[in-house]
Structure 1
Amino acid sequence: MGEKELAELLHLVSRRLRRGYVDRLVPLGLNPGQARALRALAEAPEPLRMVRLADELRIVPRSLTPVVDALEEAGLARREVDPANRRSTLVVITPEGRRMAERAREARRDAGQDLFAVLTEEQRDQLRDLLGLVESQFR
């Protein structure tokens, strides 16, 4: 088999990482979109307006509605009217949502640890540095 291009290898590894992450999210009752939304809410210093949360997730606001619906139904977040602008809706993470955000973070970390277990600690550090360098050019 010929040598794979770097971009193809990165894509294949990313897919494996995502699959491992999804497999760990399923027992939590979450999908990746819901986990990302919880992470954004947990990391925010205050409740986020729906429009701001959609922007944080790089999705259009109408795509966020079913995500927030599911989080609300599971008791992980709730909608509130923004007192600063009655036409805006805030998304507030609940204490259970914070716990679930942490469990999802652990699921992501565990998926990465399993995937990269074949590498030495030094190799993982080097890969982290290289990927960080590539990513930094887009900030």
Structure 2
Amino acid sequence: METELAELVRGVSHRLRRGYGERFGPLGLTPGQARALRAIADAEPPLRMVQLADLLRIVPRSVTPVVDALEEAGLVRREVDPANRRSTLLVLTPEGRTRYEQVREARRQAAEELFSVLTPEQREQLRSLLSLVEGRSA
């Protein structure tokens, strides 16, 4: 039973990631870049590079190419941290804010498509159960 549940969750997760990927491509972003953009946009105060790596659950050296791509696209800029001049802060640009809103809408559409087979009550029940498994309060 647990193995079947794990496979079902894996399959749903794969379908959701594929839906995200299909929608992020036209925005010029990979799913990893979209996740990073979301983390940077949601951060208050601005994140340091190492904090972004922690949020994305990747090693710090792996975050550099992601941030490089976002910076090259004009979505993020690096700023020296006034509290610690050896640290770099990541700040969303106005174009980055616009793209982030597009990413949010793309994510919403992908989730809506995937979960459209469920009633609102079933969606809430699934959210509650997955939150419990995730270790969050429902």
What TM-score results when the alignment is normalised by the length of structure 1?
A: 0.91
Correspondence for 1:113:
112
Aligned-pair CA distance for 1:46: 1.8
Aligned-pair CA distance for 1:48: 1.2
Correspondence for 2:53:
54
Correspondence for 1:15:
14
Q: Which runs of 5+ in 1 are unaligned?
A: none
Q: In structure 2, how many angstroms separate the alpha carbons of the residues matched to 1:137 and 1:110?
A: 24
Q: In structure 1, how many angstroms separate the alpha carbons of the residues matched to 2:136 and 2:122?
A: 22
Q: Which runs of 5+ in 2 are unaligned?
A: none
Q: In structure 2, how many angstroms separate the alpha carbons of the residues matched to 1:123 and 1:7?
A: 19
Aligned-pair CA distance for 1:137: 5.3
Count of residue pairs brought into register by the alignment: 135
Is it true that 1:42 corresponds to 2:41 in the alignment?
yes
> Alpha-carbon deviations, 1:86-122, whole Å to 9, x = none?
2111111112111211211111111111011111111
Q: In structure 2, how many angstroms separate the alpha carbons of the residues matched to 1:38 and 1:68?
A: 9
Q: In structure 1, how many angstroms separate the alpha carbons of the residues matched to 2:49 and 2:16?
A: 29
State the one-letter code of the partner of 2:104.
R
> Alpha-carbon deviations, 1:37-63, whole Å to 9, x = none?
111111111221111111121111110
Aligned-pair CA distance for 1:132: 1.2
Q: How does 1:56-135 map to 2 (within 5 A)?
A: 56-135=55-134
What TM-score results when the alignment is normalised by the length of structure 2?
A: 0.91
Query: Percent identical across equivalent pairs?
Result: 73
List structure 1 segments (4+ residues) > 6 angstroms apart after TM superposition. none
Q: In structure 1, how many angstroms separate the alpha carbons of the residues matched to 2:136 and 2:84?
A: 36
Quote the RMSD (CA, aligned, Å): 1.5
Correspondence for 1:27:
26
